[in-house]
Amino acid sequence: MIGDTNQNKKILAHLYNDVSKEMFGVGTTLLKVSISGALVTIQAKHKRAARSTALEGEVPSLKMEVDFHLSLLYKRKLAEQLATYFHDPIEVVLRDYDAKTQWAFTNILFSTS
């Protein structure tokens, strides 16, 4: 089980922000990490990427589809990064992103068995 320590929170925040920078070219403006037993919750306010703004103005339905697929990719990349730092296997990564407000909530459940 992942310990609720400042060091673990820093690692989680750093990894989350690194994935954001890698995928979108921008990091987050606000990031809060909470750990409760095997559950990690990350609350993040993202910066709006210029490409995202352009696509939203031209083809909003396509932007929504792209956001969905990027969220799937984000979860996979984050899980891969987490696996390099934490020994406990990850059971699931759940992420909800609201394009209008740029808020994302990510729950990571580490396996307890």
Q: Which residues pair with 93 in a beta bridge?
A: 108
How far apart (Å, rounded) are the C-alpha atoms in residues 79 and 100? 25
| pLDDT at residue 49, as a whole number | 64
Residue 98: what pLDDT?
Answer: 84
Residues of the chain scoring pLDDT < 70: 49-57
Cross-strand pairs, 46: 28
pLDDT 10s digits, 22-32? 988 888 999 99
Q: What is the pLDDT of residue 65?
A: 84
Strands (E) located in 2-113? 28-36, 39-46, 90-98, 103-110
